Structure 1
């Protein structure tokens, strides 16, 4: 069976060890940027593994280009840290001020006490504001003397793909455009991006060229876990797209595999006897791109846990195979299906929704998607609604919508609908 369907198999331990010790380990731009987003201990463990594999490392030119293009913005990300500090402090000050005004004249807190409390808070806010305003000068210094960049320079010296000529770049762009028209991955979900929409496709073609040149097993480490790179089932990333494994074999005649950085550091760490800590794994898991499956799943799960007791939110429950999550609301159970889509809801998502609605395990279903619905989506959902006796709803969700009751409200409303006589009849 494995000979006939080898494209669907994950590498055995021996096969994986061959990738590490004999093959090419290609790094995507998001992996090159990852050390800027983790703490010093995690960074040390990641670079420890990569240093041991130094002779096998390689980065497509497209990955290097995107790294240098995005590096300043990633390094400047500390601005968000200061915003996350400053905003709650300002909000707290306002609430404390209002409370102090409401108890004016209370013998325990004098006007002098109130003024002292507010002054102390103002001092903290001022300190954070000063740090935020000083970030630009620090960023300039950091860009000029960047220890992480020096690490990459040492590891990837003479291990970066050749810069394409203008003519070659036009040819690559034409090929990627044709692949997109034919629905050939990767990069399909970036097709509508206003900038660098062909980046993933170009990176893949450069990786194919490298594999053809070297004739070595090729392992790509990328945190871009969208559906045009990875196979996903039940909300989980289970391996590279079969089309990519097949194309690499047919084009270059070599085995191919790909992993997010979190999977790579765990498995490679075991092979190399350099185990990584749970803290490092947790940090690296959170680095997947903003529309990645990992971060999308985590944001939905975290949001539901913010609004419901932990015992009522079931993550990937075995008894609920058609859903990714289940939420108990009183005596009812609302199934939650997660989907990442390029433009509109795919046939697989609609089939999962229909199957979940037909089953007996759920009283209602909430479909959570990262994209607003298209007219085609609404038409397809209307057809499903006409054929079901259970309520369902669709929520457009982004990880940026933190601390919002948006999803919780949808779950509760579905449970209430399921209890109504109209649906029970």
Structure 2
């Protein structure tokens, strides 16, 4: 590069080379003596790891814990947004079984459609009754269900084992949270003071009126966030780091770890020059705080800890770190009210029905025995109770409350194929209790309840399910329909 001590090189060194041309010895200095600042996304990633991987990551972070420092902005973003990360993880695990069942239902429908297509071709062009019969035997509903059952069981068993292995639970939002415990332990009191309201206002205005319009990093890509302070979050973080570093003894080094590689942190590649953290940031750190700066992704950071600080990190953990780093953090905006309150197949077993609605549904349905009421506190039966809450209101058996959640649950289905592999055929129900003798399917949670319910309540529940099915299905009744249920309860 020439004379590296010349004023020109010193002035523009961040653009000419910067710390990213360092050899291992120069990079090692950052891991052994720099303050380490973890961006909020790195802390969020702790929720994405398995318990074993998180333990290895914790061991690695212990090696730099005395030099970890948390800006107030990072801590605020972390405690304000952690529930979204937890809920996104729980939602994915909760909905996994329903997604598998849905996909198998779609596969059954596709197989049936393919069979009908070939049979139509054989009828139209082949006149081969034997082939039609053979296809019915080979690809009938029972044969397809049997073939799929083993595969579905294998997938659902693995999902169940995965859920049982979790240490991040819905209760982690407001209760015991291993990640909070880990973060508190690692940082101790090394947390930045909260800037005054006036300082935050001045910095926010400076970001929005000067830096962002001129694309001065960091954070200019966030200008479309909901509020000015949310847009200025990265810049507020940056200013806190500068303030803190100015108080440190020489030599001053900063190792910033972030999974954010957008254009407001990294300069895009151009004309043979590779992508790199913005030289403007390196220059500003040196000019404003008299410190050298290195920015690394979580993958590179933990690789560096392993190499320079002699920490063993398993290959599987390294892969988890890489996967978590590319996962988008859930949007800051809360879901719409209707979406928050919707009860459906995927979440009905995880949301306990309110006791007042349970009592109103029992009264509206005129359930007569305690046998069925005893299931109200058991999560596997909650989908049934949510359905009954919805059905009794929909059919006018009780007055709906103004703040009731929206419910999208079906206890029964009409059609040639079930909505999911585990739905039971209506033909298993007793003659006279259920009007749809063929082409009907009963939700597994509904079938489980009514198969264990005394006759009086069982008949009542099936009549409610049949009335609701009548109200939501086409007027054309399938073959085998017997008009036995009545609207005798409308005058409740």
1:182 pairs with 203, 214, 233, which one?
Answer: 214
CA RMSD after TM alignment: 3.4
Structure-2 residue corresponding to 1:54:
65
Structure 1: runs of 5 or more not aligned: 293-425
Report if aligned partners of 2:100, 2:152 keep a CA contact under 8 Å in 1: no
Q: Does 1:225 align with 2:237?
A: no
Structure-2 residue corresponding to 1:94:
106
Identify the structure with bigger relative contact order (alpha carbons < 8 Å, sequence gap 6+). 2
For 1:138 and 1:275, the matched residues in 2 are separated by 28
Q: Does 1:255 align with 2:284?
A: no
Pairwise CA distance, 1:212: 1.0
For 2:212 and 2:139, the matched residues in 1 are separated by 68
Q: Return closer, same or farther for 1:281/1:61 CA change in 2, 3 Å cut-off.
A: same
Larger Rg: 2
Q: Deviations over 1:362-411 (max 9, x none)?
A: xxxxxxxxxxxxxxxxxxxxxxxxxxxxxxxxxxxxxxxxxxxxxxxxxx
Q: Deviations over 1:41-76 (max 9, x none)?
A: 332222112101111001111111111111111111
Q: Return closer, same or farther for 1:160/1:250 CA change in 2, 3 Å cut-off.
A: same
Pairwise CA distance, 1:143: 4.0
1:70 pairs with 70, 81, 84, which one?
Answer: 81
For 2:268 and 2:311, the matched residues in 1 are separated by 28
For 1:181 and 1:110, the matched residues in 2 are separated by 65
Q: Return closer, same or farther for 1:171/1:14 CA change in 2, 3 Å cut-off.
A: same
TM-score with structure 1 setting the length: 0.59
Pairwise CA distance, 1:210: 0.9
Structure 2: runs of 5 or more not aligned: 117-131, 330-492
2:223 pairs with 191, 194, 202, which one?
Answer: 191
Report if aligned partners of 1:220, 1:258 keep a CA contact under 8 Å in 2: yes
Report if aligned partners of 1:33, 1:74 keep a CA contact under 8 Å in 2: yes
For 2:141 and 2:34, the matched residues in 1 are separated by 72
Q: Return closer, same or farther for 1:108/1:155 CA change in 2, 3 Å cut-off.
A: same
1:271 pairs with 288, 291, 308, which one?
Answer: 308
Structure-2 residue corresponding to 1:202:
236
Q: Does 1:280 align with 2:317?
A: yes
For 1:40 and 1:282, the matched residues in 2 are separated by 14
For 1:237 and 1:146, the matched residues in 2 are separated by 40
For 1:244 and 1:188, the matched residues in 2 are separated by 13
For 1:251 and 1:281, the matched residues in 2 are separated by 35
Per residue, is there more strand in 1 or in 2? 1
SS in 2 for 1:194: coil
For 1:249 and 1:69, the matched residues in 2 are separated by 32
Q: Return closer, same or farther for 1:36/1:236 CA change in 2, 3 Å cut-off.
A: farther
Written as runs of structure 1 = structure 2, the 5 A alignment for 1:412-423 is none
For 1:86 and 1:236, the matched residues in 2 are separated by 48
Report if aligned partners of 2:215, 2:264 keep a CA contact under 8 Å in 1: no
